[in-house]
Structure 1
Amino acid sequence: MSSTSLPAERCSDPLLRWLAPREKLAGLSPLDQLYNRLDGLFPTRFRAQFPDTDSVENWKREWAEGFTAERVTFDEIATGIDALRGGRDPMRRDKGWPPNFTEFLAACRPPIEHEAAYHEAVREMRRRHSAAGGDRWSHPAIFRAAAAIGGDLLSSTWPGMRARWIDVLDDCLAEIRAGRMSAEIPKVDRSAMRLDAPKPRVLTAAEQQARDAELAAKLNELKDRPKPGLEWARRLVERAELNPSSVTATALRMARNALGINNHTHGEAA
């Protein structure tokens, strides 16, 4: 089938996003591609709705206008196709027939289950903040809601966060669909999360000499400082110096050993 000839980048018409041919679609427009997908899912029944080329072009134009007005994304189109393939479109009573626009839009945007979305947000935010990364989001509104709540999300429980989560998620969903909030999920720069070990700085000779002198001074200070818990030994030595007969030789030897005093310097037997 023929495709609209003007490339999207050469026209400001927002419908060209859906109607212009694209290289990655082998020269087809997104709506040409969607036509082919629906024709494949509903053989003969979908194509039978269009008696001539004009009716096909009218269908493409109407759906392009609808997608533009509803700010539908290509990811949502993929969701809709998957739902039709799996028979998961809740609005369609006769699933053997092709959907109209309203039914297909509903398939593109299945209701978000708030509790499941909350648990997804907690799980994926933890992955996002880990060094390994690998977070995957089923809908950008879930990411935006998680980012808006911030750190409270990871320290919360579903019962405690339920009311707040529902409000924030619904707001984000509405803002994205209205085009007031980005549907893009920014990537995390993993390189910024890797901290290399700092390289040791080589000291100059003067710096090393000064550091050695400082260390020696501290060691001397510690050596001269009275040792805690040896007050009994100091008292015994002082008493022995004043009155040698008041302290036994054994007790004096023990006190001097505790204080690190050489017993021979005081004339004591070893």
Structure 2
Amino acid sequence: MSLMDRLFNALDGAYPNRWRAAFPDQHAIDHWQDEWAQAFEDEGLTPRDVGVGRKACRRLYDWPPSIAEFLRACRPASTNTPEALFYRAQTEMQRRRDGLPDNWPSWALFWAAASLGNDLLYGTFKGMEARWCVAMEANQHRTDAPEEAPKQIAVARISPAEAADRLREIGGKVKAIGAPASGIKLDWARSIAEKTARGHYGNAYGQRMAAEAFVNLRQPVPPALVPFLPARALVAANDHGEEAA
């Protein structure tokens, strides 16, 4: 059996009925093997590291581990190294996004994580080490807690007709992004930027739309939205900044 086959079976045995339930068919298992094997290669894990992680999961997690949790279990180093703090930040930010209680060692770590947006959640330490270290250094003196987001969001039930009206209204706002600058306000985009800076906005598509709205209207892009600009828009934003200077 391959290393990945043995690992899959080991996790299935450690978390009966919970691990395998996440894989409805062989295609899903193959996809898991590809993604985790690539992560192991990116992080430079050895078979011994994977064995350490497999054993550590038994005492660390009562639930099937995510890739970030498993990688952390493979190398139980000091909790204060940049790598350990990176994966701790990933875990806490994901719990925050899921509406679960989070437990940050410091608010400086929270703000470092928030400054990287969705890149933190989907990145690896090896790929983001330089950016992560810069983010930690830039936020090392922050002690202010973020504003608490509402614990629950009431979901209003609306009729199909009302839903259609709202969709038309939203569609009009989306189309307005590419319209001439005269008469157009960026209040909605500024609101998204402010919420992103506070760590309370988790819709990457909305953040990208807001960032591109500033570029299209030849306005400076707020720092919190810069990570959500695609490459072409980032070039345009830099060009606008040089013109303004």
Larger-Rg structure: 1
TM over 0.5: no
TM-score with structure 2 setting the length = 0.32
Q: Pick 1 or 2: higher relative contact order, CA cutoff 8 A, min separation 6.
A: 2
